[in-house]
Structure 1
Amino acid sequence: MRKLLVPVLLLALLLAGCSFGKDEKPPQPPAPDLTSAPGAVAVNPGPFESGPVRAPARGALFGAWIKPDALTHVGRLAAVDTLQTELGRPLKIVNTYRRFEQMVGTPSDKEFLARGATLMVSWATGDNRSILDGEHDDLIRKQARAVRKIKVPILLRMRWEMDRPNLRATMWSGEDYAAAWKYVRKIFTEEGATNVSWVWCPTAEGFMRGDAPGFYPGDDQVDWTCVDVYAGEKFQPIGELMAPFLTWAAQRPKPIVIGEFGVAKAWGSSGRAAWIKDARRTFKANPQIKAIAYFESNPEGNGPTKQFQLSGDPPAFKAFEAMSTDPYFNP
């Protein structure tokens, strides 16, 4: 009997160990220390030519895009109000996205402006060659008149991330994009829409590849330079991700807006918190950066490497909240 009991006990212990291994989550790797990662410091101290939306003399304006539950007036207001309540402060930059045919000046646009926020309109213009052929002149003029009608200065990101490879079919080339930019801006000028600060905003990856500068319309055409930067597929310090762009932008007398930035859920709460802390330090180390806007959204259909919402992730959101209450981001 005793001989039989020992193997039975050993078997029970073995099965218990297997069950424990199945239920237990594998240990997570420690979050990398990003707080001491070097940041690429812009050498241009200003002054900067910024157009109608004036850059603060010191510090940076703080803002975000928050995906609403419904793309309605009520939905947009609720999304912004919820984040502002969680942060305990108003957003100074409200990013909003528009298709080519969608006009600026919606009720929510007007409400944000009435509250004192600066509207940053990310406008998805269409095929550059069809623009240059005059096929969309009526639409562009209608948008210019809509912008003029609101009378308040806005930031306009005309076809942001134009350097993305998946947009090449409609962008055609850097030369086509630059020509279309000049064409659209000329129409805005003709329509008296002079309350626009024109924001040129490629991706950090485009500067790392080296092709983004080819889309630049010229210093006489751009009021703010911009970059969208994410810790998505690769987890790198934001200073490293932005370094090629910052080096390029430092040669131009323009303020910088970080049009979108975000750190994906895939990197875990502690990793995300570390990345946000490093972003805060890097933005402050680069005085040419005058505005920032977080991408507070989990786009539908995307996996964890492209989900960036911080709300609901206490450690990451706490780091974001600390950034928002930093006096540097309340100029």
Structure 2
Amino acid sequence: MGTALLVTAGLVATVAAGCGDGAGAVPKITTTARAGVAPVPPQQGAYFGAWVPPEGTGRPTASGSPSASDAPSGSPSGSPSGRDAGKPGMAPVAGFERQLGRQLDIVQSYRGWKSDFPGGLEESVADGNRYLLLTWGGADTREIVQGRHDALIARRARALKALGKPVFLRWSRDMDKPSAEKRVHSPADFTAAWKHLREIFTREKVDNVAWVWCPTARGFGGVNAGAYYPGDDQVDWICADAQPGGDYDYRDLSEALKLFMEWARKHKKPIMIAEFGVPKSYGTRRAEWLREAAKTLQDPQVKAVVYFNSDEQAESARDKRRAYSVSGDKRAVSALRELATTPYFNPRNLPVTSGG
């Protein structure tokens, strides 16, 4: 299975614009990633993935990232990938896949800056026919440039190299948020730290990692999120986190992404939407939102989408505006299943079942 994934990834190193259901053409897409070793974009369509929290976790960690502890194992019957359900951390993923009626292309995990990885979940994902999207927390950018974390970075680089499978690495996401300013300091400090990390990974000869740069979509409206961009030669995928936000009664994904997409058009890079979700506060309109989102995301430059199937950002049990899990909402599950099984979001032509 893993070999098949590598073969698929190795088909192209540069990808011409796809033909996403009538969407307009975009410039030729390029990546610095090594085809056949690191993840590269599909020739047509977009990978579909998700963040599925481990069982027994709920609140975000102090760093703002979800807990990455391993979930109890178990094998939900009827899962399209039931043989993987018993692997460490994979039971919730297999259960979510059963609801969707297909296997995920991408499984996301979150790790803090000082966390050891890969852990059980990451190793389980790499052991199968899925891409790992590892979201790694940030640290003080000036300390990184000064070399104070070089030993830690080198250890993590060697660990990912030893994993021996393609990995999306999303380091210090949402760096444009005001809450991150104390450790990020400035765009110049961030880009210098990014380049320092890449230098160490290059020194360690890590070539199975694709670098994903990911601010918030909202940051292209207020603060200048684009100022944090390290450059086309430093980034493999450009990305945005595009949750609607708790201050909107209703907001289409197209509205949330508009300014980011306008910025992204200027760069010949594949786009990943790494955290999108429909709030429970939208009630019966959740299915409508997801169907409209499916249209928005069928864009020839969008090459990966990752659903945030979690309520852990909610400030309380009553906070429905920051709760995104579709589990238990039959209409929302059905609409997300429609999105996930649309041929555009199944570029590897994985088997589709009835789901549920």
TM-score bin (small chain) = 0.7 to 0.9
Are the aligned partners of 1:44 and 1:251 in contact in 2 as well (CA < 8 Å)? Answer: no
1:317 aligns to what?
333
2:70 aligns to what?
72
TM-score, reference length from structure 1: 0.84
1:44 aligns with 2:26: yes
The 3 A distance-change label for structure 1 pair 50 and 308 is farther
Please tell me the root mean square deviation across aligned C-alpha atoms, in Å: 1.5
- Alpha-carbon separation, structure 1, partners of 2:289 and 2:257: 13
User: Which amino acid counterpart does residue 72 of structure 1 have in structure 2?
Assistant: D
SS at the partner of 1:170? helix
SS at the partner of 2:90? helix
- Choose 1 or 2 for highest CA Rg: 1
Superposed CA offset, 1:148-195 (max 9, x none) = 101111100010111111111111011111000000110011011121
Are the aligned partners of 1:46 and 1:288 in contact in 2 as well (CA < 8 Å)? Answer: no
- Alpha-carbon separation, structure 1, partners of 2:148 and 2:182: 17
Structure with the larger helix share: 1
How far is the alpha carbon of 1:106 from its aligned partner?
1.8
- Alpha-carbon separation, structure 1, partners of 2:225 and 2:25: 20
Are the aligned partners of 2:213 and 2:235 in contact in 1 as well (CA < 8 Å)? Answer: yes
Are the aligned partners of 1:62 and 1:292 in contact in 2 as well (CA < 8 Å)? Answer: yes
SS at the partner of 2:243? strand
What are the within-5 Å matches in structure 2 for residues 17-96 of structure 1?
44-49=26-31, 51=33, 52-70=38-56, 71-72=69-70, 74=72, 76-96=89-109
The 3 A distance-change label for structure 1 pair 264 and 98 is same
2:7 aligns to what?
none
TM-score, reference length from structure 2: 0.78
The 3 A distance-change label for structure 1 pair 298 and 42 is farther
Q: 2:271 aligned to 256, 265, 269, which one? A: 256
Aligned pairs, number: 289
- Alpha-carbon separation, structure 1, partners of 2:169 and 2:99: 27
- Alpha-carbon separation, structure 1, partners of 2:153 and 2:206: 11
Larger RCO, structures 1/2 (Cα 8 Å, 6+ apart)? 1
How far is the alpha carbon of 1:68 from its aligned partner?
1.2
Moved over 4 A (4+): none
What are the within-5 Å matches in structure 2 for residues 55-204 of structure 1?
55-70=41-56, 71-72=69-70, 74=72, 76-204=89-217
- Alpha-carbon separation, structure 2, partners of 1:42 and 1:182: 33
Unaligned runs of 5+ in 1: 1-40
What are the within-5 Å matches in structure 2 for residues 248-287 of structure 1?
248-268=263-283, 270-284=284-298, 286-287=299-300
Are the aligned partners of 1:144 and 1:188 in contact in 2 as well (CA < 8 Å)? Answer: yes
SS at the partner of 1:197? strand
Are the aligned partners of 2:313 and 2:322 in contact in 1 as well (CA < 8 Å)? Answer: no
Percent identity between matched residues is: 38
- Alpha-carbon separation, structure 2, partners of 1:283 and 1:42: 13
How far is the alpha carbon of 1:314 from its aligned partner?
1.1
How far is the alpha carbon of 1:143 from its aligned partner?
0.3
SS at the partner of 1:179? helix
Are the aligned partners of 1:42 and 1:288 in contact in 2 as well (CA < 8 Å)? Answer: no
- Alpha-carbon separation, structure 2, partners of 1:42 and 1:107: 41
User: Which amino acid counterpart does residue 46 of structure 2 have in structure 1?
Assistant: A
Q: 2:254 aligned to 239, 248, 251, which one? A: 239
1:307 aligns to what?
323
- Alpha-carbon separation, structure 2, partners of 1:49 and 1:265: 36
The 3 A distance-change label for structure 1 pair 42 and 140 is farther
How far is the alpha carbon of 1:45 from its aligned partner?
4.0
The 3 A distance-change label for structure 1 pair 300 and 246 is closer
How far is the alpha carbon of 1:107 from its aligned partner?
2.6
How far is the alpha carbon of 1:103 from its aligned partner?
2.8
2:229 aligns to what?
216
Are the aligned partners of 1:198 and 1:223 in contact in 2 as well (CA < 8 Å)? Answer: yes
SS at the partner of 1:231? coil
- Alpha-carbon separation, structure 2, partners of 1:292 and 1:95: 11
How far is the alpha carbon of 1:238 from its aligned partner?
1.0
How far is the alpha carbon of 1:74 from its aligned partner?
3.2
How far is the alpha carbon of 1:325 from its aligned partner?
1.1
SS at the partner of 1:81? helix
The 3 A distance-change label for structure 1 pair 107 and 225 is same
